[in-house]
Amino acid sequence: MGRTREAALSGAVEAVTKYGSRKATMGDVAMLAGIAKATLYNHFRTKDDVYAAVVEAEVEAIAAAAFAKLPNGFDVALAEAAAMIAESPAVRRVAAQEPAVAAGLATLGEGNGWTSARAHVARALQQAGLDASSGAVDVVLRYLASQVLAPSGPAERAAAAALITGAVASSRDEARAEPAPDSAQADSSDTSS
């Protein structure tokens, strides 16, 4: 990522922390980024474009920090990701003063941020040898999204991460333990049609 773009994203996070997402202007973002407003507009057409890029960059930063903790266990990586969301000053500002915006951030959906988050969670689950099905990925993402609206403390995050890790481990084990369909039964159903 270019230095100007990084500065713009950093300025956007600072602007949200300082003014809130609705009150912050492109001028505020540019000023806090230390760039000209015209330069900001060369990179982003609207404030929504800036915020979408911030969300994507934050997903990448959270994923990088979580992957760094993955050798210590999926639960440790998950607790790290949850802490980054729960303790983000910009997220706390939005949650406290703009509940509708916070609810949008905490609702699983489509878009580049969610696509990237799903891919990172699936990859982390796979690397940890856990169930990486879409259901398991969504359970992890729902927990992480809950940190936007109702952040938990370190002990609660560790406990929740351990519970979720146990749940996705046992769902993987249950899927492996399911017996294969009886081949004789499968053959008889093929001939009856």
| Nearest CA among 144, 149, 171 for reference residue 160 | 144
Greater pLDDT, 125 or 177: 125
Q: What's the whole-number mean pLDDT along residues 121-142? A: 96
pTM of the model: 0.83
Over residues 160-193, the pLDDT tens digits come to: 999 999 999 987 666 555 555 554 454 444 444 4
Specify burial of residue 46 (Cβ count, 10 A radius: 0-12, 13-18, 19+).
exposed
Q: What angle do CA 84, 123, 129 make, to 5 degrees?
A: 105
Range in 60-64, 106-110, 161-165 the model is least confident about = 106-110
Has residue 127 got a pLDDT over 90? yes
CATH topology of domain 1-45: Arc Repressor Mutant, subunit A (1.10.10)
Tokens representing 105?
């951030």
Q: What's the whole-number mean pLDDT along residues 82-96? A: 93
Highest mean pLDDT among 2-6, 76-80, 188-192: 76-80
**Helix, strand and coil in the chain, % to nearest 5:** 80, 0, 20
Q: What is the pLDDT of residue 110?
A: 85
Has residue 48 got a pLDDT over 60? yes
